[in-house]
Structure 1
């Protein structure tokens, strides 16, 4: 059995695929009968491959069609995925196993992709409501006695269960040789299907970056006896396939080519990370090899583990046509011709992925786009099937495919607009850009009147989850001067680019007006926010450049910018210029800003109440101070905790009493702007009165624009009246602490995107795990897993709320990559840890 899960990471990598297939396979093989049967499967496979290598068995040329039964088990209407989403998954399987996927063109020249010649047809869909919200991996969904659905004729049908597995698990499959009662593939609904095939007007329930149907391709590969591309080991392990390079481990995300992990990989320059059996994102896996096809073929041969599954049609031993050439090329058509193949009944001509069947040895291709390159190839057909495709040639139509300028961008932002930025470049220079957005779901319109030329539009998401569709319905659309759509999108990872060219328009030489009404706010020792009124332009303002003492500090599309890294008690000249898409800049408007002094003096409240009442304990994050009676005032600023912008925290104050319990009022202040007092708006973060001896707790949220760094928190308790931040108490007490504002802009309402930090990382003997738990206190587990999914460290943490730090001893771990995981109710955080 193979199992795939997704762990969320919080740097630029985004979520990653995890699949401890080898460990689960070995666990199932602890059953002696299953182990023996699996050994027979492997023996049969190797014997088949040896005979074929000697020419004793011909390669299968016919197409094997496997009927599929899909069992949808749902708890919510969203999980009850549509027929169109189910069919989209079948379509992806057919493309991937027949090498008809358009992205196969991205296979590097040193590797060769193969048509596996397996197709899938949807025979039946069953649907069943269940009160279960998650199913786990114990095969309960395959058993009606446990609320699931029994497999239907697994010897003759591929059974696929679609249900919420839980725990971030994408899916899992059973290798050949396992029990018939559990044979098949299980998928979570949000990873079953392809958003690329979503019909207009319908919304598929899918989660990026595993929303293109490739998880099912990966799992069906396991079902058909394929191992992971790195052999579930290191550079000395093997996946039992001869034409896949040895790799030291899995690849994640979308690696750059070449990426090589083993020197002893047969002379290849890179790992075959684009193989369906690696761990990369859906968009970056797009090939099987001939060796993998041969390994799959073995289980369908007489005596194979899946001999009765599917039916074969066609089959053809014709060679690939030679002499493919082009002629009569014009703006919208060209002619292809090739040498005849003896025995051919017809030919399939592929142009840009579109296939046309002709009877002769030439084809006139029409309806093409001017100035566009097309990949062309041809194969011969006989009465029983098709031969191999010829070598590919590229034919480019004449004329221009440039659009009429100017070009207009319509950008709809998602729920995290600050993560979105974009640029338009030409010849290595940026001619337009945008960033610094703050309005959730807002719409931005920009026009690029930059003349004729070739351009690249690039949109970025700093978090790596695009702008649609998990956290809002963001999108971008580029239109030409005639309102024709050049490109549109939104569902991508970290970045997406579109190339286009324009025929030009009237050159824009008019500069925007200068920004007005410059003002400064939020001035601290090391930062300040400068705001201004919007400029106007004949075409449109694309942004503002902000200068500090004559040097460019940064650009923004909003009408304010927070400047950081300043020196205390220093005067700076801040200037702002507006710009448009043509690169015209306005005159500068400027203002002088003086930062606060570093010599902050706080008032020290006085009083003596230890004979009556006092603050016994203060709890906030990593602060858990049993202070005891301390004469009315105590300086605990040596104790600190970290807080994140936009995050909510709970502070608990426990009183102490010498005898009688009185009415007491409590208050907490945080000097966010670090100006030496607590009188600014929002700095009184909590206040409450009580007439009993129990603890008091209250929540507060750190402002999103609070300056980063250390500042003071004041906690007060006063008899029978609300305390002020600076006073001499007759009956009361004050304690001072330090809080460190961390600067995160992510909302903790999205648990799976909360902060998890490791320091140091890489590490040798220990690492400090810092994380945040939103809302009420929760029990969580801290775990460390190796790359095979083995747990190497476990610790239960009781009732964690807000910011938390935990030191983990890693001195006993081997060098290598590990995953640190925090899990609890609505908490699922993961970060990579490199042990040196």
Structure 2
């Protein structure tokens, strides 16, 4: 317990101060002269904002205040429970469900406010109630009910002045607090109007089911009648003052009862019919072959005529209705009827009924004499801790066990032990089992007491005595009998003909059974009348709830019932019709009617046929959904074109849920969807379409249609205006930029087409374009036209642009390697600078061998050749030991990658031990002329003994290529045999000066007279000059005029009898 109960004097002081609390002067002035909603609003302003207390706390809380507000006037230390009228110790706050609890008269689930401050702790509607009755009331609706409520839980139990129903979810409080209940609920509707996050509580006529959390309570008309029939009394006024002393607000309907009919309509309220009430006490015992009779009486406050009927009646009983508010239940049971017989009676006034369900226990005729007192009926002294004693009651009535004690004498000597005091009550024809707590489950499951006390640790030589009020009345074994065993390792059962206890132990009264025999424990056969019948009914199935409610079905479930032996099955009823008989604790109903309230009842049964009281619940199936969704809102169109448009809309609302939208075009369904937008396509231009959207719910209800007409855009046949102000800028040798002013269109310009010499080069949205990779000194025609989305094209605007002239030519490389690498880069181990006879001119050349990639290559420096459109390359080479089909390459780097521009193959383009001159050219139409261009010679042989010797390399960039005559020429021309044939030829032929500008002298030594022809070729293979010299012999020199040649590289070829050689010439 969290704190001590307030002392009696402190409580009385608190109560006396509360009694002195009167209505403050002017408290209700603002409500004077008002009625209806205006009065309700005024009262809300008066009583809202009250002082709130916690539901449970170590400081002052709801528990504390209720002890004063609901104190029992006849016992100030107790509280008086509102429904049961039980007076319960105020200190027993809940007390493990055996004390009292805080009853929310406005059920806290109706509005789902729980126990939070505000409605959850408002003392004007919270009352003291014993725990089990509080639970039974649950959240039932308030109305007149037919069945008296009998409390069967806890220490405080028995008949109560409250009523309930097995059919409807209703509760009727005692008559003297009906008006109190009504005024509490009316207070709640005025105090809690939905402001500041509080619930908006209202009273209504329709019942709510047990799972509803709606902030309503029923039944209004009944509550008004209760208010009229049960006026405010002094006790109610006292309680109002007590609560006011804490909360500082009052219940206006207690201070001014007239406010009820000024806010609620009392004019049409008629007194309701009261249910009749059974006033007779049932007769529950009968004997075989002995006449049974029960005189039944009932009363009705409305003085209606009453009639009696039976819903459940054993075959040996008959019901006689006397017609004057009384009846007789009579009959004679036979041997077959021994046991428990269930009876169900009903009394009706023609409108409402009350029921009385009970059980009659029939005993055999040879049992009726009864035993003289309780006695030991079974003794178990088995393996280990398997120890148990059974005490039987066949006295003919229930016995209070507190007068009885079991004692033990250890080893047949000494005094009796202090004893095991029994507790509780023992019904007639029932047994009490005490067992060692460490015994096997077969024993402990039958035990009413388990423990390890000395009396439960006996052996076969320990005498055991049953004492009543300290006097021995029955014994097993002999007191002071010594240590000899009389009942070791065996089970003993009292014979059925033993009808009384015996203070002298006699083996003849007992049947001796084998060790660890437990089968008869828990029952006893007396006087041959058969085994004691099971008359104890199972407990009521608890927590009966419904779930998964649909239009046509629902599920129910409940907690397991308990029984003194075992629950064998549950009977499930629907509207009092047995639907199922099962062992499980759940059932599913189907094929029901929509919108219908069904009464479900579950009864637990045991093997003897005993039936529990029923657990009942009302369940209403979901009503058929006939409410259509709202019409889709804000239906609009967007993105309209000639052939398409989009629509969108706001979501519809539905009482259940919107499941789909139907989209129509010209009354034809085109789509069913859940999203709130749709795109139409493939439509006709310039056409008006009727669009309709309808919302649907799962029940198939359709909303009113949302409509809109949408016209697609008409075909566009108007061309854009001509692009104006076409201008050129940034003219270079290889490109230029153009720009123009934007065109206009009746819809929109979507693109511009840009042409070069009547060839479309670009379609774009911007109004400028840059041309690149053009030829120098070339005139181009540029044309621009505007287009719209419909494909309409404007007239063209055009201009001519001539690119700038490029420099004629430039020698990039002229390398003879006589002074080193001449800016070439040594690739690696398979490249070297060679000095010897395999050099074509002078002493040095570059030796390439093997196939080691760049390690077998020589690479030039970087050059910017973007101003040129042609490259001419000449070089001399000598081949040594190159195998057939082995080759070497000339490569070009175009700014991003290496390209092979020529390859020379052994056996095809050259033979070993000969000198050759190679020329090749390529232009900008084939390769990108980059700002970081490079050149490379690379060998692709098979070993280091396969060699190519490169000499006299000349690379020239020029603008000789034209748009109409782009070239890519490669040639390899034999010059002379290797030095293996003419070791001195290299020294006998000379061109000087080389490079030349005006002329050069060709000098050679001739051993005999010969006619010579001297040819000069450009690198394109064109003959640019020739001359014939006759009778040349000895040291011969010929001066050749080259002043008319353009700068560049040329090939001088000399031919005659047995003479055929060439020399490179560079003209500056």
Q: TM tier, shorter chain?
A: under 0.3
The structure number with the bigger radius of gyration is 2
TM-score (normalised: structure 1): 0.20
Q: Relative contact order (alpha carbons < 8 A, sep ≥ 6): 1 or 2 greater?
A: 1
TM-score (norm 2): 0.16
